[in-house]
Amino acid sequence: MTQIDTSKVTSTTGIKIGQKEAPNTLIEFVNLRCPYCRQWWDEKLDLITHEVSTGILHYVIKLFNKESPGLALGNVMHQYVPTNEQAVDVITKIYHTQNDWGNLFSPDEVELFAEETLGLVKQQNRDMLDSIVKEALDASIRFVPTLIVDETDFDQKISNQDFLALFK
- Whether 73 is covered by a domain: the verdict is yes
| Tally of domains in the chain | 1
23 within domain boundaries: yes
In a domain, 48, yes or no: yes
**Cβ neighbours, 10 Å, residue 83:** 16
- Mean pLDDT of all residues in 100-116: 96
Segment 66-79, tens digit of pLDDT: 999 999 999 999 99
Domain membership of residue 1 (yes or no) is no
Tell me, what CATH number does 88's domain have?
3.40.30.10
Per the structure, the complete domain to which residue 50 belongs is given by 6-165
Average pLDDT over residues 38-64: 97
CA-to-CA separations, 146 to 103, 107, 124, 130, in angstroms, rounded = 24, 25, 24, 17
Which pLDDT belongs to residue 14? 98
Provide, rounded to the nearest whole percent, the portion of the chain with pLDDT above 90.
93
* Interstrand relation of 24-30 and 57-63 (parallel, antiparallel or unpaired): parallel
Mean pLDDT of the chain: 95
What are the residues facing 136 on neighbouring strands? none
